[in-house]
Structure 1
Amino acid sequence: MSRRVAVYGAGSWGTAFSLVLADAGCEVTLWGRRQVLVDAINDTRGNPDYLPQVRLPATVRATTDPAQAAHDADIAVLAVSAQSVRPLLEAWAGLFERRTVFVSLMKGVELGTDKLMSQVIAETTGARADRVAVVSGPNLAGEIVARKPAASVVACPDDTTAALVRSACHTPYFRPYTNADVVGCELGGAVKNVIALAAGVADGMGLGDNAKAALLTRGLAEATRLGVAMGADPLTLAGLAGMGDLVATCSSTLSRNHTFGACLGRGLSVEEARTRTRQTAEGVASCKGITGLGRRHRVDLPIAETVADIIHHGRDPEEAVHTLMSRTTKPENLRNGRASTSE
Structure 2
Amino acid sequence: MTREQRKLDHIRYAMESGDGNRRTGLEDIQFLHNCLTPVDPDKVDISTRIGSLKLPVPVFMDAITGGAPEVKEINRRLAAVARDAGAAMAVGSQYGAVKEGKHADTYRVIRKENPEGIFFANVSALVSPDEARAAVDMIAADALEIHLNVAQELIMPEGDKTFSLILENLSRLQDCVPVPVIIKETGCGMAAEQIRELQARGFTCFNVAGCGGTSFAAIEAARGKVKRYEKFADWGIPTAWSLIDAAHTARPWDTVIASGGIRSGWQAAQAIALGADAVGMSGNILAVLLQQGEEAAVAYLQDVIADLKDIMVLTGSRTVRELQQVPLIFTGDTLAFIQSRGYEPQFRRKR
Q: TM-score, normalised by structure 1?
A: 0.29
| TM-score with structure 2 setting the length | 0.29
Bigger relative contact order, structure 1 or 2, given CA contacts below 8 A and separation 6+? 2
